Amino acid sequence: MRKWFLLLSALLPVVVLLPAHPKAVAAVEPTVSVVPPQTVTLTFDDGPDPRFTPKILDMLKKRHLQATFFIVGKNALEHPDLVKQIEQDGHTIANHTLTHPHLETMKPGGVTAELQGGDAALTSVLGPSFPVPHFFRPPRGNVSPAILNSTEQLDKQLILWNVCVENHTTTTPEQVEQRVIKLIHERHGGILLAHDGELDRTLTVKSLPRILDDLARDGYRIVPLQEYLKDQQQTVSKNSLGV
Ligand SMILES: [Zn+2]
pLDDT tens, the chain, 243 aa long: 444 444 444 444 343 333 333 334 444 444 444 555 799 999 999 999 999 999 999 999 999 999 999 999 999 999 999 999 999 999 999 999 999 999 999 999 999 999 999 999 999 999 999 999 999 999 999 999 999 999 999 999 999 999 999 999 999 999 999 999 999 999 999 999 999 999 999 999 999 999 999 999 999 999 999 999 998 877 655 555 444
- The catalytically annotated residue of 21, 91, 96, 195 is 195
Query: Residue 36: its pLDDT value, please?
Result: 55
The residues placing their C-beta within 5 Å of ligand 1, an ion, are 45-46, 139
pTM of the model: 0.84
Measure the CA–CA gap between 49 and 151, rounded to whole angstroms.
26
Is residue 195 among the annotated active site residues? yes
Query: Residue 18: its pLDDT value, please?
Result: 35
CA 181 to ligand 1 centroid distance, Å: 22
Residue 131 CB contacts under 8 Å (≥ 6 apart), including other chains: none
Query: Residue 237: its pLDDT value, please?
Result: 57
Its CATH architecture, for the domain 42-171+190-208, is Alpha-Beta Barrel (3.20)
Distances (CA, A) of 128 to 121, 122, 124, 192, 223: 11, 9, 7, 30, 28
Q: Coil, helix or strand for 163?
A: strand
CA 243 to ligand 1 centroid distance, Å: 37
CA 46 to ligand 1 centroid distance, Å: 5
How many C-beta atoms lie closer than 10 Å to residue 81's C-beta? 11
Query: Residue 243: its pLDDT value, please?
Result: 42
Find out whether 114 and 103 touch, Cβ atoms under 8 Å. Answer: yes
Across 58-70, b (16+ Cβ under 10 Å) vs e yields eebeeeebbbbbb
Q: Coil, helix or strand for 95?
A: strand
Q: Where are the alpha helices (DSSP H) in the chain?
A: 2-15, 53-62, 73-78, 80-88, 108-126, 145-153, 173-187, 202-217, 225-241
Query: Residue 28: its pLDDT value, please?
Result: 45
CA 141 to ligand 1 centroid distance, Å: 8
CA 167 to ligand 1 centroid distance, Å: 14
Q: How far is CA 160 from the centre of its chain?
A: 6
Measure the CA–CA gap between 213 and 188, rounded to whole angstroms.
16
Number of H helices, E strands in the chain: 9, 8
CA 240 to ligand 1 centroid distance, Å: 34
- The catalytically annotated residue of 21, 45, 49, 96 is 45
